[in-house]
Structure 1
Amino acid sequence: MIVFLNYQTEKQKWILFLLFFFCIVLLGYLNFLSKGTGSWAFGIYGSIMVCYLLGKMILSFFYKPYTDEPLNLKVSVFIPSYNEQPAAVVKTIQSILNQDYPVHEIFFVDDGSPNQSGYQAALQLKKEWDRTHKKDIFPKLIVHRLEKNSGKRHAQIWGLQQATGDIFFTVDSDGYVYPNALRELLRPFSDPLVMAVTGHINARNRDRNLLTKLLDMRYDNAFRVERAAQSVSGNILVCSGPISCYRKEVVLDNIEHYGNHTFLGDLVQSGDDRCLTNYAILKGKTVYQETAKCDTDVPETLHQFLKQQIRWNKSFFRESVQAFKIGFQKPKILIWVILELSLWILFGFIILVSLVFKVKVVGYVLLLYYFMYLAVSSYARNVYYIWKHPLIFLLAPVYGLIHLGLLFPLRLYALFTIKGNGWGTR
């Protein structure tokens, strides 16, 4: 039986399914027509992409969130921060204090920010919390500042080494965690094989401009399709930093490596979420819990967006090497990693062959086919979003163009400058 998420009527469910099916048929037809241009490379890539997209979407249709009651688990929360705005810090901490599942302790650690306003806001909130709550009342709020900027991992490690919880909950300092999010994140841990759980992220500042609207749609696809599909196999590749939980042994058994992880001779500071996920994959299952939600701010300017993507892509390449090694022990992981890496490489080859060399031979008909293919595939992979924001859904091909014109070259840049470090956000 196909399971659809968050759609309240049978009519909406069938519209979703039929729209996706129509897109797949249209992609197949475009792929067939492109053979007339003589571009075998485009035809091969198109066929593989249709199969991959179809496979991911079918798996996501079968995804179901866990519904078991949470076990009695003690939870430690970690909020690293660097140059964060005071209002954002207070909202994040308050959202944890307002969880409907009891939190044992909260560690807010400022990573030696030059701008201490966020840290001071956290200190003030702690003073108010301690004044109005008895010492034996949980959660305990611990606020600390590192003397010098040491990187996000070391800000986390300061708290991790002192934590007493059974579950470690990572949160970003600019996020809002929904009141029931922790309870929902804990449901999958009723399965003893589950080592890590990630939730669903929305763009809090979605309505700021066109870029933030497109990024909210991209986030929705990344979770509803990609992580949902991977979760069905029990092996999501990334537990996102703003809302993820890990069993304590996953982190503590690897904390020495986490703090001293090197790549090509340099100490690694970014990519903490992928690194922690790899630790969890080695021990068991990593899953997605769609019902656990948080809002976070996405980049509002092109400059911020490009910096974020460079950091994420460096992490993608670096941690994919480790995930590839893990894949020899976990075959399902190997399949996901090979598909993610090989399709990207194949995409670059097709762009070079089909759109640079072949266009000179067959004219711009092939280019037209490619952009039609890009538009239809953008609608297919973002089909869930049609019920969330129909008008923004219509703009799905715009993000596809951004991927072609900016993100693909940027990924190459990230690969050739992979030794760089830093938070990469502010």
Structure 2
Amino acid sequence: MKSIRVRRTRTRILVGAALSVAALSIWLVRHIYSSINTWQGRGQHFATVYALAFLLLMWQCVLYFCERPRKVTPEQQGRLDELRVTVPVPVRNEGPNAFKACLASIADQARLPQCIVVVENDNSVDYAAVRSWFAGVCGERGIPLIWESTPVPGKRHAQGLALAAARRAGISSDVYVTVDSDANLDRQAIDEILKPFADREIQSVAGIVLASNLRGNVNSKGQRRRWRDALVRLTDLWFVVGQLVDRSAQSALGGVLVNSGVLAAYRAHVVDDNLDGYLNETFLGRKVEFSDDSMLTIYALQHGKAVQQPTAFATTLMPDNFSQLFRMYTRWMRGAFIRTFWRFRYLRLDNYAYWGHLIGWIQMALSTVIFIALFLYLPFVRGIWTWELLLIPVLVGYGQALRYLGFRRSDESFGAQLLTFAAAPVAQIFAFTVFRVVRWYAMATCYRTGWGTRQKVELDLVSSN
């Protein structure tokens, strides 16, 4: 199965920067003036909230355009080439096509790992044929392969078993590159994600994750549904823009808060030194099964910096129905809420991650005030409703989504990419309204610390891919 190739396009990033600043500037001036006049002086407090929210957005904008891919000198590259890389691959109820594509992409890397450890985790799927095929591939390419299985469910347990299996085999590691079992790595992914480690302060690196199933999504009966493709595209747009806005801003100052489990890299000591706490994390007396990637990122931030490498790409299966989407987002937000306590308690005050996390909560509070004012107070209490209110998420959506045009992928025409970009206001409004309510629900039910998915195969790549 062919891997998707992705490359950055610098020109569009610069154009996007100029248009983003212009759009957000117009937004600020127009609505501060409008709110003050419409409310006849009573809107000054709202205008202040609006102005503060805008300034935080501008600060974020400045930061994310300061992010640059890490480059290395020949001497640094020589040291990176000596790093021993282990790739643990936990798999549980993954679609066979997606899992095989994942393994093929790891074995096809321009910079091969020193070891791959696959752990079947309480599966209902028989991967015997995949195992036999992959053993042959690794044998041909000289990659040590360890294949384990465990009846105990849990991604963290599987990762811990993978690292223990590598040590038993006498394989030592300098870096762990973590992937999900549906990750399809760009051929340069490992080479690129290792480059930031030339800086000894950097302890973890996040990759950029895109959707692998932009087209050809089918239901459980194998029936094609065009709306499924549309939902995947909107999710991809929202998710990619989040990485290229929020995470890029954090990365510029070495304070990335969450690496994606689809593709991330950690210095081995970060994981090894904290393995017991990682495997046995609890919240309100319950074992935490999700949010593994953000927990590892906290450990990395305790030792130094966490960054994103915007030239390390991977694709993954995005939800193609609302049930999967809401369950995934609910799990993420429960994890994010739990992480809030850990970050304020354990992150160092001299690391931007602490202050970036605080700014994130301030932004959330301000956006909640704006949401209540625009969509509840003004229309239902004051009787004020104009089309201009919708201009706010439209401008913000388009301004930030310009980052989506900052790369090209081999399986997507620029025209199709532009059509997805055109839907930015839909994704923005959906996130501003529906996802906001889901987040409140997730916070209220944070005591439910189970994974919530992977009870069966829900997604897979179509065989034509």
- The TM-score, its normalising length taken from structure 2, stands at 0.84
Q: Distance in 1 between matches of 2:14 and 2:122?
A: 52
Counterpart of 2:410 in structure 1 is: none
Amino acid of the structure 2 residue aligned with 1:194? I
> Is the counterpart of residue 418 in structure 1 residue 452 in structure 2?
no
Once the two structures are TM-superposed, the CA of residue 377 in structure 1 deviates from its matched residue by 0.9
**1:262-311 deviation digits (Å, cap 9, x = unpaired):** 11110111000000000000001111111111111111111110000000
Amino acid of the structure 2 residue aligned with 1:195? Q
Secondary structure at 1:356's aligned position in 2? helix
Q: Within 5 Å, give how 1:39-54 maps onto structure 2.
A: 39-40=43-44, 42-54=46-58
Once the two structures are TM-superposed, the CA of residue 354 in structure 1 deviates from its matched residue by 4.6
Q: Which of 170, 181, 199 is residue 173 of structure 1 equivalent to?
A: 181
Amino acid of the structure 2 residue aligned with 1:7? T
Secondary structure at 1:183's aligned position in 2? helix
Q: Within 5 Å, give how 1:292-303 maps onto structure 2.
A: 292-303=312-323
> Is the counterpart of residue 100 in structure 1 residue 110 in structure 2?
yes
Amino acid of the structure 1 residue aligned with 2:183? G
Q: Which of 412, 423, 445 is residue 395 of structure 1 equivalent to?
A: 423
Counterpart of 1:291 in structure 2 is: 311
Q: Within 5 Å, give how 1:27-46 maps onto structure 2.
A: 27-28=27-28, 29-38=30-39, 39-40=43-44, 42-46=46-50
Q: Within 5 Å, give how 1:142-291 maps onto structure 2.
A: 142-149=146-153, 151-163=154-166, 164-207=172-215, 208=217, 209-291=229-311
Once the two structures are TM-superposed, the CA of residue 56 in structure 1 deviates from its matched residue by 1.5
The change in CA–CA distance for 1:199 and 1:146 in structure 2 (over 3 A counts) is: same
- The TM-score, its normalising length taken from structure 1, stands at 0.91
Once the two structures are TM-superposed, the CA of residue 40 in structure 1 deviates from its matched residue by 4.3
Once the two structures are TM-superposed, the CA of residue 191 in structure 1 deviates from its matched residue by 0.8
Residue ranges of structure 1 left out of the alignment (5+ in a row)? none
The change in CA–CA distance for 1:364 and 1:386 in structure 2 (over 3 A counts) is: farther
Residue ranges of structure 2 left out of the alignment (5+ in a row)? 1-6, 167-171, 218-228, 408-416, 455-465
The change in CA–CA distance for 1:385 and 1:25 in structure 2 (over 3 A counts) is: same
Comparing 347-356 with 201-210, greater Cα deviation is found at 347-356
Q: Distance in 2 between matches of 1:144 and 1:42?
A: 58
Counterpart of 1:343 in structure 2 is: 363
> Are 1:41 and 1:354, in contact at CA under 8 Å, matched by a contact in 2?
no
Counterpart of 2:389 in structure 1 is: 370
**1:390-416 deviation digits (Å, cap 9, x = unpaired):** 222221110122113321111111111
> Are 1:175 and 1:295, in contact at CA under 8 Å, matched by a contact in 2?
yes
> Are 2:53 and 2:367, in contact at CA under 8 Å, matched by a contact in 1?
no
Give me the CA root mean square deviation. 2.1
Amino acid of the structure 1 residue aligned with 2:86? S
> Is the counterpart of residue 116 in structure 1 residue 120 in structure 2?
no
The percentage of counterpart residues that share the same residue type is 28
Counterpart of 1:73 in structure 2 is: 83
Q: Distance in 2 between matches of 1:186 and 1:400?
A: 33
The change in CA–CA distance for 1:71 and 1:387 in structure 2 (over 3 A counts) is: closer
Secondary structure at 2:290's aligned position in 1? coil
Q: Distance in 2 between matches of 1:231 and 1:387?
A: 17
> Are 1:237 and 1:277, in contact at CA under 8 Å, matched by a contact in 2?
yes
Amino acid of the structure 1 residue aligned with 2:301? I
Q: Distance in 2 between matches of 1:101 and 1:43?
A: 53
The change in CA–CA distance for 1:361 and 1:37 in structure 2 (over 3 A counts) is: farther
Counterpart of 2:349 in structure 1 is: 329
> Are 1:80 and 1:173, in contact at CA under 8 Å, matched by a contact in 2?
yes
> Are 2:110 and 2:188, in contact at CA under 8 Å, matched by a contact in 1?
yes
Once the two structures are TM-superposed, the CA of residue 41 in structure 1 deviates from its matched residue by 5.2
Q: How many residues align?
A: 412
Counterpart of 1:139 in structure 2 is: 143
Q: Distance in 2 between matches of 1:127 and 1:53?
A: 49
Higher relative contact order (CA 8 A, sep 6+): 2
> Are 1:263 and 1:318, in contact at CA under 8 Å, matched by a contact in 2?
yes
> Are 2:343 and 2:354, in contact at CA under 8 Å, matched by a contact in 1?
yes
Amino acid of the structure 1 residue aligned with 2:305? K
Amino acid of the structure 2 residue aligned with 1:6? R
Q: Distance in 2 between matches of 1:422 and 1:173?
A: 19
